[in-house]
Every structure is written in C-alpha cells, then in structure tokens.
Amino acid sequence: MKVHGRCHCGKVTYEAEIAPGGAGICHCTDCQQLSGSAYRVVVRATSFTLTGAAPKVYIKTANSGTKRAQAFCPNCGSPIYAASPENPQSWSLRWGSIVERAQLDPPTREIWCCSAMPWARHLQGMAQAQRQG
C-alpha cells in the first residue's frame, strides 16, 4: 500500500510503500520517552522517499545495543521514523505521521512487553467520549 506522511506542521513530508500486516506496537522505554506515551505504534516501510524538508536526525543506541536514527521535524518536533543510521533497508514509520493511518491494518505484534506499563495492554471497558467536553 502506498502511503503519504507528514509532520504536524507539514514541513516534513514523505511517500512510502508498506506491506499489509506490518504494523506493531513497541513498549520499549525509548519509544515511551520519544513519544510521550505508553508505547509507539510503527509500520515498516519497504520504500521511503522524502517529498518535503529533511527531518532532524538523532542517533540513539537502543537498549538492544543497536544504533537507531530517530527522525523528527526540526520545526514542530513530530516523530517521523526510525531506521538504521547507515544504509537502511526498512523504515519504521510513526503511525501518527501517516495520512492514510485509518486504512492500515491493526497492529499484529507487540515488542518490548517487559517495559510495558501494566495497564497498557488492558484498555478494554474504559469510559469513552467522542470529543473532549
């Protein structure tokens, strides 16, 4: 599936090709800190092309010891992707940056569950509101 993405302010934009069923949830502490959330939802892209401004890239050594390039908008700070810092073969696109995110398949796997917040995997049955009132 071809997707388009953008940061919150629209400065950084991209196009990518993703495979169906490639979405996952990451509970690692890096994703928690970088997203300001209990986890991060990612989709692996098999191709990736920037169509707007270049993102700012921060190289982080993950808990696994792997170096990861974390890309975000230099203007608004929106996370865009993570990838290998050298010769990436795939890009982990941040779910919220994908314009067509409502058409994506639901996540099919969770990783780094040892770092998950105890309540993050049991959200069914909560009170819900369509808007903040």
Query: Residues 27-36: what's their mean pLDDT?
Result: 86
| Tokens 């700012």, residue located | 56
By DSSP bridging, strand 109-111 and strand 13-26 are parallel
- pTM of the prediction? 0.84
Tokens read off for 121: 């995997």
CATH 2.60.40.10 at 2-115, yes or no: no
Q: Using pLDDT thresholds of 50, 70 and 90, give the confidence band for residue 31.
A: confident
Measured from the Cβ of residue 94, the count of other Cβ atoms closer than 10 Å reads 25
User: Would you say 20 and 54 are in contact if contact means Cβ atoms under 8 Å apart?
Assistant: no
Is 28's pLDDT higher than 80?
yes
Which residues, 6+ apart, have CB-to-CB distance to 73 below 8 Å? 7, 8, 9, 11, 12, 53, 55, 56, 80
The pLDDT of residue 78 = 95
User: Would you say 61 and 23 are in contact if contact means Cβ atoms under 8 Å apart?
Assistant: no
**Under DSSP, is residue 42 helix (H, G, I), strand (E, B) or coil?**
strand
All structural domains of the chain with their residue ranges: 2-115
User: Would you say 80 and 72 are in contact if contact means Cβ atoms under 8 Å apart?
Assistant: yes
Query: Residues 33-44: what's their mean pLDDT?
Result: 85
Query: Residues 91-106: what's their mean pLDDT?
Result: 92
Write the single-letter amino acid at 123: L
The pLDDT of residue 77 = 95
